Amino acid sequence: MSPWRPHPSTKAHKRPKTLPSLDRMTVTLALPFAGRWLTQNSPARRVPSHGVDVFAERYAIDFVAVDDRHRSASVFDWRSLVATEPPERFVGFGRPVLAPVSGVIAAAHDGEIDHAARRSQLALVGYMVGQSARMRRGVDAIAGNRLIIRDDSSGSFVALVHLKAGSALVGIGDHVIVGQQIAACGNSGNSTQPHVHVQAMDSLDLAVARGLPIEFHNFRELKRGMRQFRAIESGVPGEGSVVEPRQLP
With respect to residue 186, please indicate whether it lies within any of the assigned structural domains.
Answer: yes
With respect to residue 128, please indicate whether it lies within any of the assigned structural domains.
Answer: yes
With respect to residue 60, please indicate whether it lies within any of the assigned structural domains.
Answer: yes
CB count, 10 Å around CB of 83?
14
Contact 93, 191 (CB under 8 A): no
Q: What is the pLDDT of residue 13?
A: 42
CATH code at position 113: 2.70.70.10
With respect to residue 176, please indicate whether it lies within any of the assigned structural domains.
Answer: yes
Task: Identify the sign of the CA torsion 231, 28, 33, 177.
Answer: positive
Distance from the first to the final alpha carbon of the chain: 30
Find the helix or strand (DSSP H, E) in which 81 lies. Answer: helix 78-82
Contacts of 158 (CB under 8 A, 6+ apart): 27, 29, 100, 101, 103, 148, 149, 150, 151, 198, 199, 200, 201
Contacts of 40 (CB under 8 A, 6+ apart): 61, 62, 63, 64, 195, 239, 240
Contact 50, 41 (CB under 8 A): yes
Q: How far apart are CA 115 and CA 51, in angstroms?
A: 23
Count each helix (H run) and each strand (E run) in the chain, helices first: 4, 17
- Nearest 10 degrees: CA dihedral of 35, 41, 42, 45? 140
With respect to residue 173, please indicate whether it lies within any of the assigned structural domains.
Answer: yes
Contact 105, 149 (CB under 8 A): yes
Quote the domain boundaries for residue 216: 11-245
Q: What is the pLDDT of residue 130?
A: 58
With respect to residue 22, please indicate whether it lies within any of the assigned structural domains.
Answer: yes
Q: What is the pLDDT of residue 18?
A: 53
With respect to residue 6, please indicate whether it lies within any of the assigned structural domains.
Answer: no
Number of domains comprising the chain? 1
pTM of the model: 0.87
Q: What is the pLDDT of residue 36?
A: 97
Per-position pLDDT tens, the chain of length 249: 332 233 333 444 444 455 555 556 899 999 999 999 999 999 999 999 999 898 999 999 999 999 999 999 988 887 777 788 999 999 999 999 999 999 999 999 999 999 999 887 776 666 665 566 666 667 888 889 999 999 999 999 999 999 999 999 999 999 999 999 999 999 999 899 999 999 999 999 888 899 999 999 999 999 998 999 999 999 999 999 999 999 866
With respect to residue 81, please indicate whether it lies within any of the assigned structural domains.
Answer: yes
